[in-house]
Structure 1
Amino acid sequence: MKRSGPLYTLLGGLLLALFMLSLNATTGEGSSSYGEDSPGAASPAPTSAKPTVDSPSPTPTESPSKKPPAKAEYAGRTDDDTSAVSISIRDDKAIAYFCDGHNTESWLKGDVKDDGSMHLTGKHGAKLDGKLADKKVRGTVDIDKKTWGFTADKATKPSGLYRATTEVRGAKIDGGWIVLPDGKQVGILKEDGTARKAPRLDPETGTVMVDGDRLTARPVVP
């Protein structure tokens, strides 16, 4: 019995050592650091992606309508081929002449809008409504309660509109001429208010003979 004492003491020491080793192992597993890889560390909150907003596409700019030429002449005949019309444009102003070559005529003037439309007026309620397109003016003329449709094509010199106003031997002379693109002329000459067919004009020089007197007609501009 006396020899078993040391054996019990040795077994008790071994058991105590095993218990301490087990306790240390358990305590080590529970320890943690605050590093990103620590098992107990909270994961960072996911960053919300900011939604991308598409910028609206710019509205295409409408092409401005083609403006009338700053300087142009037009000449043509009425639809019934009884009269002629000539129009002279400078910037946004226009002057026109209607003439049947006998006794009916009218001078008209007014503005030309950016879209090529025009509303010209003359004496005694005369009016011309037209629209410029494709190098020509298409419209109507109203004089003395009568209406004529017309088409005036773009004209180049010597075609166009001419006028002569002067006094000869005490008589007041007022003449208007339309030189058409084909070279034909339509005009009226008034002497003290009495109308007659205008004598032929030389469009190259602007000269015209009236009862033996040489007069000069000039291109008409607004």
Structure 2
Amino acid sequence: MSQPRRIIWSCELVTDFLGRILHREKVSSKIIVVCSTREHFLGQLAAAVHYGTTTPEGHELITKAIGLLSRSQNVKLAFCETLEHLRAYISALDIASTKQEDNTLGESSPRLLLAVLNPLALHLSTTEFSAQGLSRTLAAAVEATARQKVDLVLCECVDVMENANDEHGEALWNTKVPLLNGTARIVAEENTSRVPVKKVAQRWFEFDDDRNIYRQQQ
């Protein structure tokens, strides 16, 4: 088996993200961790379809949504509405057992994908939207997946329900954050060193944007 992938996807809308997960990722099992409540996730799906999705499966996703995901034999769906919940879920995730239970393809070494949707947005309103706080979360996810050779994907999508708010989606990767936790995020202090979130993430992840290729295939 090749080395596990650690990738950050570029998907504008949540429907683009789910379309890629459900229809394009050829792995034996998938765990999708949504960094919000179930209700907010469904609201994002509805808003994304109304706004105009780039994936042909968009309307299927909103009409079937949770049912489609829950009935998929190789998909597990979890919701983490706080940063503490996300870190606890990742640290307690028994990936080895999941791989064994979901090995419906009869593979000797089944491939599993852990995909986390909007982890940066979960940090945004906390004092841990910093290089230190983000590194703690990213490192935990990398450690949990690396030792068992599980692919890891992160993705930030625009929240169409908050279209007046520019602090969502891919723009968050270019946001400059303080090095340490507890530094005021909105009012920047002149003497505070800051670093782009993308630079923090590039310690572990590669950035992958194949949206143009995907659109050409439609």
Global fold match (TM > 0.5): no
TM-score normalised per structure 2: 0.22
Larger Cα Rg: Structure 1 or Structure 2? 1
**Structure (1 or 2) with the greater helix fraction:** 2
**Structure (1 or 2) with the greater strand fraction:** 1
Which structure has the higher relative contact order (CA within 8 Å, separation 6+)?
A: 2
